[in-house]
Amino acid sequence: MNSELKALYRDTLLEHSREPKNNRVLKNADAYFELKNPLCGDLITIYLKVSHCMVSEATFEAQCCSICTASASMLTDQITKSDIEGGIDFADSLIESLLQPGISIANLENEEIQSLAGVKSFPSRIRCATLPWEAFKGAVSRLV
């Protein structure tokens, strides 16, 4: 990865961590799920409002590091106005691409989310990036 791309990714992560989108409790959520990383103490809750198998609104509340906050901000942006199955597929692809050495996150179509690729170089921080996506899947499981 060239230095310009690294700087762009760093800026994207910083923007989402400093001014996260959808960082609030969603009153009257159809589902929510809280997840904690026991290794570092990151705590996140994902809230979903769903209508006709579509995520009409997604928000989060967190006490976590900047990587987790940025990932949650990107998640809520990505899944809002998407169908639930598409959101789950995207979450699975993202988690797999971060956990598996041979799979590139560049295959994902969202350029902002590709900025999470840098965590692959720091195995102890991968869970920081995947935690919101795992919580999203947990919230979806409560809808059924």
pLDDT score of 111: 83
Where do the structural domains in the chain lie, given as residue ranges? 3-141
pLDDT of 47 over the 80 cut: yes
Percent of the chain with pLDDT over 90: 73
Q: pLDDT for 69-80, tens place per residue?
A: 999 999 999 999
pTM of the predicted model as reported, rounded to 2 decimal places: 0.91
pLDDT of 107 over the 80 cut: no
pLDDT score of 64: 96
Rounded CA gap, 69 and 64, in Å? 6
Of 127, 136, 144, nearest to 32 by C-alpha is 136
Of 83, 81, 70, nearest to 133 by C-alpha is 70
CA-to-CA separations, 123 to 23, 71, 98, in angstroms, rounded = 26, 16, 9
Q: pLDDT for 19-39, tens place per residue?
A: 999 999 999 999 999 999 999
Give one DSSP letter per residue of 95-123, joined into a string.
Answer: HHHHH-TT--GGGSS-HHHHGGGGGGG-H
Q: Are 23 and 60 in contact (CB under 8 A)?
A: yes
Say which residue, 71 or 14, is predicted with more confidence. Answer: 71
Assign 15 a pLDDT band (cuts: 50, 70, 90). very high
Assigned CATH for 3-141: 3.90.1010.10
pLDDT score of 115: 87
Lowest mean pLDDT among 3-12, 77-86, 103-112: 3-12
